[in-house]
Amino acid sequence: MEKRNAQSISAKENRMLSMHLMICKWCRMYKEKLAVLDKVFKKTFSEKETEINDAEIQDFKNKMIDKLNF
C-alpha cells in the first residue's frame, strides 16, 4: 500500500493488492488509517502554505506508522 501511495504500481501488483485486501482485515484497517493520515497531513500542510514535497510527507507518514507499531 505504501508503494501504491508513493508511486504507481503495475496492473498485476494492483490486482494482487486488491485481492489481498479482500481477505485481510488487518490490511484493510491499515489502509483506512493511511487514508486518514493522508488527509490530515495534506490539510495541515496546505493550511500552513508551506512548501513540502510528497517525499517529505511519505517520510513523515512512515515515521508515524513506525511509532504506532503498524
CB atoms within 10 A of CB 55: 9
* pLDDT value of residue 57: 81
Higher pLDDT, 27 or 4: 27
Give the integer Cα–Cα distance in Å for 28 and 1: 10
pLDDT of residue 54: 81
Q: What is the pTM of this model?
A: 0.54
Q: Within a 10 A sphere around the Cβ of 36, how many other Cβ atoms? A: 9
Name the domain count of the chain: 1
Q: Are 50 and 60 in contact (CB under 8 A)?
A: no
CB–CB of 47/10 below 8 Å? no
Domain limits at 15?
2-67
Taking only the tens place, the pLDDT of each residue in 19-58 is 999 999 999 999 899 888 888 888 776 665 556 678 888 8
